[in-house]
């Protein structure tokens, strides 16, 4: 099965649990059949014909063997000695229990295969198929169907060397009260197995719905990338927090406050919605984690070894999104969209804070402050994007080769030396396109 190690472990635990249930049902089926056997036919063992006595003794031996199989598999599952191949062995033995008993019935009675479906063991077919359903494995189910259909087909076309004179009488006996009681009992046992299967499937469905609802609730407060980890039980780990290297990107619309003054609330809401839609699209393309929106600004995080390069890709995608949006607005006679983007790479502290009613994923540290400061510097440098040299070093990129221009080092509070930075998109918009009055954005 593909997936993470955690997924594989959960699947293995589910298989072990399914095998325990099947083992208990095997024990129940064998005990039930033994009880029905003793109640219906045991008193007549000494008086019946020898062929029936042999058949019943063989059936008794196989039922005891099936009981031992159930006890053995249950013991293995509970002791943690379960292995994947044991499922297939168990399914094979389930089918063998059914088919061998039916075959012995034909062999003892010397009846042709045409009466196969009069034999009581055939009525175990629904139970054996239900056992396979309990394991939620379509390949295992197909294997079970193949074994049963193949075995029954061979028996249907089987012809004895010599049909006995009492063939009609023996066939009629298969429709008498004792075999019919056994059939009814087998149907009842198969029904019990199916009830258990339905109960387990209902439980799994309920758990899936509950987990989906929990994940949906988490995504209301937390980035979608984190919801999977939290729904999988990683909340306590994220509460403890960790220090890690990360790229931080800030984007903020310039002069939004002055533009929004006096405007219709619906227009402002539509504008912010469009801005966030484009931010979401750019972040998704670069696998960025949107930590939060702050009015007309957004903070995006990039984890992992390629986080720095993905942050650069996201900055380029954001700039393209804003340029396309600006072109659409200018065509409509509206003002352009002007924003600043700042990026930095460094160590941060990340973790989930809050309680079950209100969770929040937060990132703290000097790296966050520097990224926010670089975004603010875009106004002074007349650049659309400013990124630190640390980000390029982490990405293994060459700023000059990609069209970035070195800017004067910036001196930040708490730092003894200047921070090397690079700008992109110098020149901004033409003076007549700068926001102002009703056309400012």
78 pLDDT band (50/70/90 cuts)? confident
354 pLDDT band (50/70/90 cuts)? low
- pLDDT tens for 260-298 read 888 888 989 999 999 999 999 999 899 898 888 888 899
Q: Provide, rounded to the nearest whole percent, the portion of the chain with pLDDT above 90.
A: 22
The whole-angstrom separation of Cα 401 and Cα 241 is 38
Question: Which of 141-155, 211-225, 407-421 has the weakest average pLDDT?
Answer: 211-225
**242 strand-pairing partners:** 350
H or E stretch including 343? strand 339-355
∠ Cα 356 357 363 (to 5°): 75
More confident residue, 184 or 233: 184
The whole-angstrom separation of Cα 440 and Cα 260 is 9
Q: Which of 296, 301, 299 is nearest to 435 (CA)?
A: 296
- The stretch 23-36 carries a mean pLDDT of 81
Long-range contacts for 268-271 (Cβ within 8 Å, ≥24 apart)?
271/441
State phi, psi for 163 to the nearest 5 degrees. -80, 125
- In the chain, what are the domains? 5-215 (no CATH), 241-439 (3.30.70.1230)
* pLDDT surpasses 60 at 428: no
**pLDDT given at position 48:** 53
Give first-to-last CA distance, the chain, whole Å: 52
223 pLDDT band (50/70/90 cuts)? low
* pLDDT surpasses 60 at 80: yes
Query: Strand, coil or helix: what is 223?
Result: coil
Q: Provide, rounded to the nearest whole percent, the portion of the chain with pLDDT above 70.
A: 76
pTM above 0.75, yes or no: no
The whole-angstrom separation of Cα 215 and Cα 106 is 57
* pLDDT surpasses 70 at 241: no
Strands 358-364 and 339-355: antiparallel
**pLDDT given at position 439:** 28
* pLDDT surpasses 80 at 58: no
- The stretch 58-73 carries a mean pLDDT of 80
**pLDDT given at position 400:** 78
Distances (CA, A) of 419 to 220, 247, 285, 425: 37, 16, 29, 20
Evaluate whether 33 touches 189 at the Cβ level (below 8 Å). yes
In total, the chain counts a number of residues equal to 441
The whole-angstrom separation of Cα 422 and Cα 341 is 12
368 burial level (CB within 10 Å; 0-12, 13-18, 19+): buried
* pLDDT surpasses 60 at 229: no
* Count of alpha carbons within 13 angstroms of residue 238, beta-carbon side: 22
Average pLDDT, the chain: 78
């Amino acid at each position: 099965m593909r997936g993470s190690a955690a997924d594989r472990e959960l699947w293995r635990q589910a298989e072990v649990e399914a095998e325990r249930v099947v083992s208990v049902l095997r024990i129940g089926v064998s005990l039930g059949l033994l009880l029905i056997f003793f109640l219906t036919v045991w008193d007549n063992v000494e008086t019946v014909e020898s062929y029936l006595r042999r058949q019943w003794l063989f059936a008794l031996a196989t039922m005891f063997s099936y009981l031992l199989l159930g006890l053995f598999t249950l013991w293995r599952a509970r002791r943690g000695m379960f292995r994947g191949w044991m499922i297939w062995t168990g399914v094979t033995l389930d089918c063998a229990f059914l088919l061998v008993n039916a075959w012995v019935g034909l062999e003892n009675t010397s009846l042709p295969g045409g009466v196969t479906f009069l034999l009581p063991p055939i009525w175990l077919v629904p139970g054996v198929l239900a056992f396979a359903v309990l394991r939620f494995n379509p390949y295992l189910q197909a294997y079970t169907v193949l074994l049963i259909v193949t075995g029954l087909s061979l028996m249907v076309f089987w012809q004895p060397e010599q049909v006995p004179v009492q063939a009609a009488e023996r066939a009629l006996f298969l429709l008498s009260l004792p075999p019919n009681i056994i059939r009814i009992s087998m149907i009842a046992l198969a029904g019990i197995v199916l009830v258990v299967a339905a109960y387990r499937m209902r439980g799994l469905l309920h758990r899936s719905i509950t987990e989906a609802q929990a994940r949906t609730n988490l995504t209301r407060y937390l980035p979608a990338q984190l919801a999977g980890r939290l729904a999988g039980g990683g909340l306590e780990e994220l509460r403890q927090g960790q220090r890690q290297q990360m790229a931080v990107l800030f984007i903020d619309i310039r002069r939004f406050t002055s533009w929004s003054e006096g405007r219709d609330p619906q227009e402002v809401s539509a504008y912010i919605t469009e801005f966030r839609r484009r931010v979401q699209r750019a972040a998704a393309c670069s696998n960025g984690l949107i930590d939060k929106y702050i009015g007309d600004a957004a903070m995006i995080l990039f984890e992992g070894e390629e986080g720095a390069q993905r942050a650069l890709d996201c900055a380029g995608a954001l700039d393209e999104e804003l340029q396309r949006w600006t072109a659409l607005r200018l065509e409509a006679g509206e003002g352009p969209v002007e924003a600043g983007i700042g990026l930095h790479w460094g160590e941060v502290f990340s973790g989930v804070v809050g309680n079950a009613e209100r969770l929040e994923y937060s990132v703290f540290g000097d790296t966050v402050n520097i990224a926010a400061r670089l975004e603010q510097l875009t106004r002074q440098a007349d650049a659309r994007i400013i990124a630190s040299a640390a980000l390029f070093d982490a990405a293994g990129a060459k700023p000059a080769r990609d069209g970035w221009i070195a800017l004067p080092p910036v001196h930040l509070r708490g730092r003894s030396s200047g921070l090397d930075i690079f700008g992109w998109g110098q020149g901004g918009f033409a003076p007549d396109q700068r926001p102002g009055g009703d056309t400012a954005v």
